[in-house]
């Protein structure tokens, strides 16, 4: 049975949770660049990317996971050739090139002033399998 995951400071206009979980599997819906404190959408891609990764961290924390548990991140960019801000946040979250998840970037027409959305798939290990290192 699916467990719905809701995040404080993050919500959709439609009646859907931020993510769903079945056993060790966590799949998110669209995580946007909306500021979690003000609920405003910043104008620039850099701030939106920072907010997206803040939502990713909050989601992982809510399910007891870490960046090590992310299997794949799918990113939708309004301009798929503009990846500098995305790559900056990506490298901050996944600094070890041997421990990065899969990533797919696709061009998208996003609603309103959104420049980036992402969704993720994570697989949570048993607590006894978790490495002691956190990011």
pTM for the model: 0.89
Q: Can you list the pairs that 90-95 forms with residues at least 24 positions away whose Cβ atoms lie under 8 Å?
A: 90/53, 92/53, 93/53, 93/56, 93/57, 93/67, 93/135, 94/67, 94/70, 95/135
> pLDDT band at 133, cuts 50/70/90?
very low
Name the DSSP letter for residue 112. T
> pLDDT band at 100, cuts 50/70/90?
very high
Q: What domains, with CATH codes, occur in the chain?
A: 3-129 (3.30.1330.40)
- CA atoms of 132 and 135, how far apart (whole Å): 10
pLDDT(25) > 50: yes
Angle at 37 between CA 62 and CA 55, to 5 degrees: 35
């Amino acid at each position: 049975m699916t467990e719905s995951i809701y995040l404080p400071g993050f919500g959709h206009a439609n009646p859907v949770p931020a993510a769903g979980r079945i056993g060790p599997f966590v799949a998110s819906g669209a995580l946007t660049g909306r500021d979690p404190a003000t609920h405003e959408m910043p104008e620039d891609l850099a701030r939106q990317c920072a907010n997206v990764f803040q939502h990713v961290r909050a989601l992982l924390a809510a399910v007891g996971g870490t960046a090590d548990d992310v299997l794949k991140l799918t990113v939708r960019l309004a301009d798929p050739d503009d990846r500098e801000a995305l790559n900056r946040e990506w490298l901050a979250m996944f600094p070890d090139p041997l421990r990065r998840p899969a990533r797919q970037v696709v061009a998208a027409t996003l609603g309103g002033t959104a420049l980036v959305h992402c969704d993720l798939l994570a697989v949570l290990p048993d607590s006894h399998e978790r490495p002691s290192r956190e990011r």
